[in-house]
Structure 1
Amino acid sequence: MLSRFIDKLKIVITPVVTGIVITTIGIYLIKVGVTDIAGGVGAEDFGSATNLLLGSLVLGTIVALNMSRNIMVRLSSILVGLLVGWLVALMIGKASMVDFASQPLLSIPVPFKYGFAFDWHAFVPIAFIYLITAIESTGDLTANCMFSKQPISGRGYLQRIKGGVLADGINSLIAATFNTFPNTTFSQNNGVIHLTGIASRYIGYFIAGILFVLGMFPVLGAVLMTIPKPVLGGATLVMFGTVAAAGIKIIANEELDRRKIMTIAISFGLGLGVMLVPDLLKQAPKLVQTVLGSPVTMSGIAALTMAGLLSLFPESEKSPKRVEASEA
């Protein structure tokens, strides 16, 4: 439903707002990537030299391959980086082979396997969270347009935003039907587009088919689960950094006046403040912690609020300075 009138919010969904959201997404995800390089949350060997070297190997492989003039080498950089990291991890004992005998050959999802019910107490907070995730999706879709060399303003851009938010809702409906969690846009994919230079939606169709097959055959998913966290972190760090760079580029392309700088300052201050001080909302109600505890949500709400407030009080045009002609 939100997707049908999101284009009416163009007065507040400005390039500065989307740039703030995209940058915050990238910065927040960089923390996730670095944590994975160190071994992942709760790892006993967190921060060990082995983990750091393994992540650095993957990162270095991806960067080196992206320097190649051969387009096929560049396109395969992420896959090759992951493969090299996994093989090295296997040799040093950081990864293990899959026990194929313990995995079922085929798994067919059953709709509403655990029944169907509706609870207003659960619906209201989840519906509100859906509204918040639309902010993040708007940022992701804007970055996607930029990496795909599509405009990030105008009617065509707003139509893409509407379609993307609608697709989020439909995907989550399908996910709920087949007993899994709601889903939303994945920021890392923008990094993949930037690294590979491929933004064709037809490639997305093929990938969707591959993921569908992976879901039907648990053994294939089990193979992917053997990839160690440091290997994944080395690959995702590049993608996350690319997302942050995209947001900075969107902001940099704007003519920043006093009001826009104030919006940027407050949005980043609140968003990154929540990330740097996780206990900031420790005493707040659970719903407030869930909604505003996310740096992306906090910066997005702050940016939208500032844009909305400033639109109500337009800045008066400055009168041109009078230039006195000097007498000879």
Structure 2
Amino acid sequence: MADTSIGTPEQLRDPNYFPGLAKGIPLGIQHVLAMFVSNVTPAIIVAGAAGFGFGSGSADFPELLYLIQMSMLFAGVATLLQTITLGPVGAALPIVQGTSFAFLPIMIPLVAGKGVDGLAALFGGVIVGGIFHAFIGTFVGKLRFALPPLVTGLVVTMIGLALVKVGIQYAAGGVPAIGTPEYGSLLNWSAAIVVIVVTLGLKFFTKGMLSISAVLIGLIVGYVYAIAVGMLSLDAITGSWANSAAFALPQPFKYGFEFSIAAVIGFCLMAFISAIETVGDVSGITKGGAGREATAEEVTGATYADGFGTALAGIFGGFPNTSFSQNVGLIAMTGVMSRHVVTCGAIFLIICGLVPKVGGVIRTVPIEVLGGGVIVMFGMVVAAGISMLSDVHWNRRNMVIFAISLSLGLGLQLEPGALQHLPETARVLLTSGLLPAAFLAIVLNLVLPEELTDESTEEVSGGMSGHGEGSYAKDSRA
């Protein structure tokens, strides 16, 4: 319900209204709290996949710290492109941008075990993919016919399924600890469980800021728990703070630039999915906050901001940016449509990104604590995909499309060795799981005849739908 003490109902629905700094700054920071953990987590996951250490004594401390710093800085910059706009770039709406989870299945294979050497190709893909993403803005509205809930729901579900393994590995002790006696210990799991329990308790038994910031508060409680049980020492925290600079500017092409076919194709293909997600978020903001449909200019401008914000981030070592759906829900809940409120949040993010000490503290969060938050977040991604799939009419045609796409995509992801004889570019793209699943779903949805839509699902489901033989015969005659 909207808070009328902030403004009249008409003012609250106006993106150009600003309630003043005294109210605008807290509301803006509230948006940052809702997305903060999700925004920095991809940087930590990519760093872990590349082999960067995560302990207080890690020699890779500067690299991990820099990636976290860039995630915050360029999420703020991309958000400013949306709220303030730059020519046709930006929707002039309260859209919060952040690092996208969707690209993780592409990024992880590109850097796996390669350390800093894998980052040049990754950021080359981010830059080219961002430019292509911006180009999509010129025709994104015409693509929606090829992406019904069957396709988008499958893609979102696959994103979550591709990442849930990461959450379990983190909760058990992290990838470097696999095979060691402490991996999967009760102590490791206890930290993750504390985060999950606190997050769920706040999410479902509180309201307002406590509920909105449930994951963040859960991580803070888990952090304190880790200190109390000796998983993290105060010396490690103070040392990390002391070793981090008070202020630092981003460095262009810090990790170089490499044109990798696998990276470019992967990021360009995922740009389609991210663009459609942004269209949905823009529509959700205008419907939930202003009670109207999004205009073509708003959709185009938002997609431009997605793409150019991503390309700019890639130049300085940041990851792909996209609109954050959790903040769409926050606008609907508060009823405050002001883009200038989100601008306040963007400035706060930029300040955090320019102060490495903030990233230094984030970096001391034990991997097991982060695992608890990641399990919740990635599980919610899967749940969001399943929710989208609930809008699908499950006839035989759609079940076949879903079954083949999911089986092949998930299967290749689980057993990458099955493609060991393919060239590296094809192997990286196909073993992501997400791209082959999305490609198959889109193509099959376009080419399979609609005549199948009214036929029974019984032949495919083998009786699992709950119909007996008699009902199958009746359905077949219909």
TM range (shorter): 0.7 to 0.9
AA aligned opposite 2:139: F
Q: Deviations over 1:206-236 (max 9, x none)?
A: 4433332222111111001001111111112
1:280 — aligned with what?
418
* Counterpart residue number, 2:470: none
Aligned to 2:447: 309
Matched, 1:59 2:200: no
Asked whether 1:98 is paired with 2:234, we answer no
2:22 alignment counterpart: none
In 1, Cα distance between equivalents of 2:327 and 2:189: 22
Task: Kindly state the Cα deviation for residue 24 of structure 1 after the two structures are TM-superposed.
Answer: 0.9
Q: Distance in 1 between matches of 2:255 and 2:171?
A: 37
**TM-score between the two structures when normalised by the length of structure 2:** 0.57
Partner of 1:134: 271
Structure 2 residue aligned with 1:247: 385
Find the partner of 1:11 among 107, 125, 145.
Answer: 145
Give the SS at the match of 1:283.
coil
3-state secondary structure, aligned to 1:185: strand
Residue 163 of structure 1 and its aligned partner are, at CA, apart by 4.9
Q: Does 1:26 align with 2:167?
A: no
- Residues 258-302 of structure 1, C-alpha deviation per residue, up to 9 Å, x if partnerless? 211111111111121122213222221111122122122221111
Quickly say closer, same or farther: Cα 1:228–1:114, change in 2 above 3 A: closer
Shift of 1:135: 3.9
Write out aligned runs for 1:170-209 (5 A): 170-177=308-315, 179-185=316-322, 189-190=324-325, 202=339, 204-209=342-347
Specify the alignment match of 2:213 in structure 1: 76
Greater relative contact order (CA < 8 Å, ≥ 6 in sequence)? 1
238-247 vs 161-170, which deviates more? 161-170
Shift of 1:141: 3.9
Does the CA-based 8 Å contact 2:144-2:276 persist in structure 1? no
Q: CA deviation at 1:112?
A: 5.3
Following the alignment from structure 2 to structure 1, what is the Cα–Cα distance between the partners of residues 303 and 286? 20
Distance 2:325 2:400 in 1: 28
Q: Report the equivalent of 1:109.
A: 250
**Contact 1:39–1:46 (8 Å) recurs in 2:** yes
Q: Which consecutive unaligned segments of at least 5 residues does structure 1 have?
A: 320-328
AA paired with 1:287? T
> For residues 138-153 of structure 1, what are the structure 2 equivalents within 5 Å?
138=275, 140-141=277-278, 144=281
Whole-Å Cα distance in 1 between the matches of residues 447 and 369 of structure 2?
45
Relative to structure 1, the CA distance from residue 104 to residue 54 in structure 2 (aligned partners, 3 Å threshold; closer, same or farther) is: same
The change in CA–CA distance for 1:17 and 1:198 in structure 2 (over 3 A counts) is: same
CA distance in 2, matches of 1:30, 1:156: 33
How far residue 142 of structure 1 moved from its aligned partner, in angstroms, is: 6.9
Separation (CA, whole Å) in 1 of partners of 2:329 and 2:272:
22
The one-letter code sitting in structure 2 at the alignment partner of 1:106 is: F
Structure 2: stretches of 5+ with no match in the other structure: 1-134, 456-478
Provide the C-alpha distance between the structure 2 equivalents of 1:169 and 1:140, rounded to a whole number of angstroms.
Answer: 13
| Paired letter, 2:393 | E
Q: How many residues align?
A: 307
Work out which of the residue numbers 264, 277, 293 in structure 1 matches 2:431. Answer: 293
Aligned to 1:323: none
Counterpart position of 2:394: 256
**Do the aligned partners of 2:398 and 2:453 also contact (CA within 8 Å) in 1?**
no
**Counterpart code for 1:244:** V
Deviation at 1:192, TM superposition (A): 7.5
Q: 1:48, 1:148 → 2: CA distance?
A: 44
Correspondence for 2:174 among 36, 40, 48: 40
* Letter of the structure 2 residue corresponding to residue 66 of structure 1: K
Q: Which amino acid in the other structure matches residue 367 of structure 2?
A: K
2:252 and 2:317 in contact (8 A); partners too: no
Q: Quote how far apart the aligned CAs of 1:157 are.
A: 9.3
